Amino acid sequence: MKVLLAMSGGVDSSVAGAVLLDEGHEVVGVTMKLWGGESDTGCCSVSDVDDARRVAQQLGIDHLVFNFTEDFNTHVVDPYVQAHTVGVTPNPCIECNRHLKFARLSERATTLGFDAVATGHHTRIGTDAAGVRRIARGADPAKDQSYVVHMLDQRELARTMFPIGGMTKADVRARAAQIGLRTAAKPDSQDVCFIGATTGRQVFLGSRIPFRSAVVRDLDGFEIGSVGAVELVTIGQRRGLDLGGAVGRRYVVDVDPVGGVVTVGNDADLYVGSLQVSNVTWGDAPIEGDVLVQCSAHGDPHAANLDADGLLHWQEPQRRISPGQSVVFYDLTDTFVLGGGIAA
């Protein structure tokens, strides 16, 4: 099979290439140039591209670079900035997966005559009891990335491969060291590629949108403080609030950037019995009923009942989820991804 392998310059995609070659596939590596600005973090730095190229040489495969910066700005960066102006906390890495690392890459792969695309994600593709192809959790629970690729549908699953999904991270590093790959000990990338590690979100957003101050009120409506940039405030936040010496821990329970109001309460005030989910996509047919729900990349799944309108009713009250965060539905065995959407 002719496979186009997305190579980020990290150890996972490096070993994915080795596994594919061992399986007898014809492999070509590709690194996607996504962020056109300065980068000292994430997977878009010049050094990462160089690492990917050098690993491809070690593996004896061709290496390409695709420039998707325009698509990245349109589908990831611009929406990220806009979301903060309306009180939404987006997940740019998931949108990058949705629009670039799978949809756009798969489109290009088809044009170039490849049979499949592969990535170094720690997840698997399996079939459920009904024989339906599904995203399944990776073999390493600590590194499972099924949450971040939940948007793949049947068409994409049919031509996508996750070569290291059945390996632990320790296995991956051991394999990389065994065959002498330069990325064997390279640390994992954890940050958003367009947000500088030294400058942070405040500097990035501040250069693109004007910050607006807001008053902080308690649940009784009394003004107890202020914030200098309502665009940087998110649900559940405790630090960075000027509450004028208010007693006790206070958490953000609501953000109204239009009205210029941040509402805070106690920890107990963060717990709710339901969650509305919008923009739901499914791995196959839509599903209603009891599901397990994960609301962050490495969060614990919680039981809920999902209705036809995307309203989740938690089995037990859960902390509020910031609007814009991804909400992923798993089957009751906590094995297969059913679908997912965005917290409204």
Q: Which of 43, 44, 93, 193 is catalytic?
A: 193
If asked whether residues 245 and 328 sit together in one domain, one would say: no
In which domain, by residue range, is 11 found? 2-120+163-178
Q: What is the mean pLDDT of residues 223-234?
A: 94
CB atoms near residue 47 (< 10 Å): 11
**Euclidean distance between CA atoms 133 and 283, whole angstroms:** 8
Residues 15 and 111 in one domain: yes
Tell me the mean pLDDT in the region 277-288.
97
222 domain residue, yes or no:
yes
Let me know if 193 is a catalytic residue: yes
**Which is nearest to 11 in space by CA: 170, 186, 157?**
186
**C-alpha distance from residue 301 to each of 86, 167, 273 (Å):** 28, 22, 15
Tokens of 279: 């923009």
d(CA 152, CA 218): 41
SS (H, E, C) the chain: CEEEEECCCCHHHHHHHHHHHHCCCEEEEEEEECCCCCCCCCCCCHHHHHHHHHHHHHHCCEEEEEECHHHHHHHHHHHHHHHHHCCCCCCHHHHHHHHHHHHHHHHHHHHCCCCEEECCCCEEEEECCCCCEEEEECCCCCCCCHHHHCCCCHHHHCCEECCCCCCCHHHHHHHHHHCCCCCCCCCCCCCCCCCCCCCHHHHHHHCCCCCCCEEEEECCCCEEEEECCHHHCCCCCCCCCECCCCCCCCEEEEEECCCCEEEEECHHHHEEEEEEEEEEEECCCCCCEEEEEECCCCCCCEEEEECCCCEEEEEEEEECCCCCCEEEEECCCCCEEEEEEEEC
Indicate whether 149 belongs to any domain.
no
Q: What is the pTM of this model?
A: 0.94
168-182 residue pLDDT tens: 999 999 999 999 999
pLDDT score for 247: 64
Same domain? For 7 and 61 the reply is yes
Mean pLDDT of 67-85: 96
- Lowest-pLDDT range of 91-100, 108-117, 187-196, 281-290: 187-196
**At residue 188, does pLDDT exceed 90?**
no
Question: Per the domain annotation, does 240 fall within a domain?
Answer: yes
pLDDT of residue 41: 57
Q: Mark whether 48 and 9 lie in a shared domain.
A: yes
Comparing CA positions, the residue from 105, 31, 90, 35 lying closest to residue 61 is 31
CATH of the domain at 93: 3.40.50.620
pLDDT at 173: 98
Task: For the sheet with 261-265, list strands across it.
Answer: 223-227, 214-218, 261-265, 251-256
Residues 172 and 42 in one domain: yes
Are 48 and 169 in a shared domain?
yes
**In this predicted model, what pLDDT tens digit does every residue of 103-157 receive, in sequence order?**
999 999 999 999 999 999 999 999 999 999 999 999 999 999 999 999 999 999 9
The Cα 99–Cα 108 span in angstroms is 12
Between CA 49 and CA 72 the distance in angstroms is: 17
Active site residue 96: yes
Q: What is the pLDDT of residue 329?
A: 98
Catalytic annotation, pick one of 43, 44, 93, 96: 96
Instruction: State pLDDT tens for residues 26-63.
Output: 999 999 999 877 655 556 667 889 999 999 999 999 99
pLDDT of amino acid 245: 63
Asked if 298 and 172 sit in the same domain, the reply is no
Specify whether 286 is located in the same domain as 173.
no
Q: By percentage, how much of the chain surpasses pLDDT 70?
A: 96
Q: Please state, in angstroms and rounded to a whole number, the distance separating the CA atoms of residues 286 and 308.
A: 8
Under 8 Å between Cβ of 172 and 163: no
Last residue of a domain, one of 240, 265, 290: 265
Mean local confidence (pLDDT), 226-232:
94
C-alpha pair distances (Å), 285 with each of 1, 132, 134, 288, 341: 29, 10, 11, 10, 14
The verdict on 230 and 320 lying in the same domain is no
Whether residue 257 sits in one domain with residue 112: no
